[in-house]
Structure 1
Amino acid sequence: MTATDNRECRRALATWLQGMGLSASGLTGIAGDAGGRRYYRLATAQGTRVVMDASDDPGSVAPFVRVRALMDAAGLHVPAIHAADPERGFCLLEDLGEESFLQVFRQKGADTAMEAAIQALVRWQSFELADALPPYNGERLYAELDLFAVWYVQRHLGVQPTPGWWQCWREGCERLVHSALAQPRVGVHRDFMARNLIKSRPSPGVIDFQDALIGPVTYDLASLLRDAFFSWPERQEQYWIQRYRARAAAAGIPLPDGFTQALDWMAAQRHLKVLGIFARLAHRDGKPAYIADAPRFLDYLATELAGYDALKPLAGLIAALPSPAGAR
């Protein structure tokens, strides 16, 4: 977005707020997401509010409103919508708080926060959605994997794969997608990670849920346990996996046979996708900070693919890629 475009968006947002008797002069920028949405905190007579400016992608507001209603019905703490203009991409939201679970995990209190996160996840997964959300189908899963090959391998690393590389890549992708599609299907937040969980009352507050789908049961657990910005020691991760499985079983949520493999392969699909997204953010959108976490994702992948004979060729393919350090 150009400086002129940004000024025009701010003027349109200010006009919208003024129509509700609010002044844009008190807007304070807060951390946005990897998409085109911008967020501000605003003091009002009724308390602080969060202003969402999705004017670059107004089409995301309607899904946000729809998924918010579903999660609220499921018993999750999601922000109340005080006002919305889907056509222009503006929302005035409840302020759930300033402290994310990422901050909590890095300090004391991680155990309490993780228990709350797992309870919220089980509550969401046990909610009957029927066809209320689109399916997380094979087409979407393959398209996400393509991001890794196009944006990370070719654009970020500058590697031009051989026909043999592409063949091995496609075979690995087929195995990951087949595993994902074979899992029981539940509501999937699609970015159920620490930065999108807010310390609040009740906790957690859940945000950034507009891309939710109905899909593989292990997806959100993989997002929570193998975070883009925080890694659990293996022993703690195994403890939380068992806690999740016990709570899921008690709630009647079906889990796949071979749960460990299903979780590893689902996490691998997600991490390949996210590496592609982070590379695209760096090279297309001018947001290079995200790709700095590429080594964390490569470490995750090395662990997730290890020990599975069917994925040894894919693991070798990834291990043979140049280091992300110094990539163009």
Structure 2
Amino acid sequence: MKKDRVKALAHWVSSITATQDELVPLPIEASARRFYRTTLGERSVVVMDAPPDTTDNAHFIALSNCFRRAEVSVPEVLASDLDQGFLMVEDFGDNLLERAYGLGQDSSILNLALAMLIGIQGIADPIIPIYTPERFAEELEIFRKWVLQDLIGVTTLPFDDITDFLVSTCDTQPKVTIHRDFHCRNLLLKPDGGIGAVDFQDALVGPMSYDLASILYDCYYQFSNATISTSIAQYLQLAEEAGLSTTDDEGEFTRVLEITAVQRQLKAVGIFARLKLQQDRGSHLENIVPVM
């Protein structure tokens, strides 16, 4: 089946590019989609194999257009075949923030990311679904099943109270548009010096602190407490300047941010464990202990 899809994808790409250029596979993340790099004329492009039975590609295209209208830098969709689940999108390159961090420029990089985050939070569009309490709870169930039950094998009853607390804290925050996977493997430094975001297809209207928690308490990189504190203060200033609903109590905001980060990290660890136990993909196992 995979070989058939690759063959069909290559045929579709060649019908657009009028060449037989190689499709170069890109690293696989925690997704059913597959990505390849090729060329369109003299420019590099990324080709997505996103099976329509598992991916809402029409929504992906709509979100791309929505973000780009708001001047949030996400890849432009250049061509698509929704029936087959094939898309060709703009190539932002390989300079992930994960690779750029730790080289003495963390603060300047975070400044770019925070500016983008504010831009995302300013988006208001009915195509973006609501992050419901039920969805928060379902995400925590991933941790309960795949980590507590299947990976460790411990009783999960005490987790009920924790779940209720985390869901309540997330759901009672001011609501804004969130990227939902706003971390260093989905953000890139572009050749023009700006920052770009990928993997935005799960955007929702959710807790104001969610994307900030994603980037400051990243699964793949650890910032110093001083950097986190500075970024929180900067975010609150930017949010106020943008007219977003926020708080004057930085300490309380930090507390809520940390609780939101716990919900997100538990979900992430559950997904990492599920990848291994369900699909035998151990690519993220090394991240479980640092995240916890």
Distance 1:96 1:220 in 2: 21
Indicate which of 122, 128, 132 corresponds to 2:127: 132
Alignment of 1:98-117 (within 5 A): 98-117=94-113
Alpha-carbon distance, 1:132 to partner: 2.6
The corresponding residue for 1:306 is none
The corresponding residue for 1:206 is 197
Contact 1:28 1:40 survives alignment (8 Å)? yes
The corresponding residue for 1:29 is 25
Is structure 2 residue 274 aligned with structure 1 residue 280? yes
Contact 2:188 2:195 survives alignment (8 Å)? yes
Give the TM-score taking structure 2 as reference length: 0.94
The corresponding residue for 1:150 is 145
Alpha-carbon distance, 1:88 to partner: 1.2
The corresponding residue for 1:76 is 72
The structure-2 alpha-carbon separation of the partners of 1:24 and 1:153, relative to structure 1 and needing over 3 Å to count, comes to farther
Alignment of 1:268-307 (within 5 A): 268-298=262-292
Q: Deviations over 1:18-43 (max 9, x none)?
A: 22134454211112321111111112
The corresponding residue for 1:326 is none
Alpha-carbon distance, 1:118 to partner: 0.3
Contact 1:42 1:49 survives alignment (8 Å)? yes
Indicate which of 86, 95, 115 corresponds to 1:119: 115
Q: Deviations over 1:187-207 (max 9, x none)?
A: 011100011111113521110
Q: Deviations over 1:157-187 (max 9, x none)?
A: 2x141xxx41x21111111111111100000
Alpha-carbon distance, 1:56 to partner: 6.8
What is the RMSD computed on CA atoms of the aligned residues? 1.6
Q: Deviations over 1:92-117 (max 9, x none)?
A: 11111211111111324222211100
Distance 2:263 2:270 in 1: 11
Q: Deviations over 1:144-166 (max 9, x none)?
A: 00011100111112x141xxx41
Alpha-carbon distance, 1:58 to partner: 5.2
Which range is displaced more, 222-231 or 59-68? 59-68
Is structure 2 residue 214 aligned with structure 1 residue 236? no
Q: Deviations over 1:301-324 (max 9, x none)?
A: xxxxxxxxxxxxxxxxxxxxxxxx
Is structure 2 residue 200 aligned with structure 1 residue 245? no
Distance 1:49 1:22 in 2: 14
Give the TM-score taking structure 1 as reference length: 0.84
The residue type equivalent to 2:226 in the other structure is R
Distance 2:254 2:130 in 1: 23
The residue type equivalent to 1:181 in the other structure is D
Distance 1:219 1:226 in 2: 10
Secondary structure at 1:205 match in 2: strand
The residue type equivalent to 1:290 in the other structure is H
Distance 1:174 1:49 in 2: 44
The corresponding residue for 1:171 is 161
Distance 2:102 2:254 in 1: 26
Misfit runs of 4+, over 6 Å = none
Distance 1:174 1:25 in 2: 52
Distance 1:240 1:25 in 2: 44
Distance 2:222 2:8 in 1: 41
Contact 2:21 2:39 survives alignment (8 Å)? no
Structure 1 residue runs of 5 or longer lacking an equivalent are: 299-328
Distance 1:67 1:58 in 2: 17
The structure-2 alpha-carbon separation of the partners of 1:58 and 1:83, relative to structure 1 and needing over 3 Å to count, comes to farther
Contact 2:189 2:195 survives alignment (8 Å)? yes
Alignment of 1:251-270 (within 5 A): 251-255=242-246, 258-270=252-264
Contact 2:129 2:205 survives alignment (8 Å)? yes
Q: Deviations over 1:193-245 (max 9, x none)?
A: 01111111352111000011111010000001011110001111111111111
Is structure 2 residue 4 aligned with structure 1 residue 8? yes
Secondary structure at 2:55 match in 1: helix
The structure-2 alpha-carbon separation of the partners of 1:175 and 1:58, relative to structure 1 and needing over 3 Å to count, comes to closer
Calculate percent identity across the aligned residue pairs. 31
Contact 1:81 1:94 survives alignment (8 Å)? yes
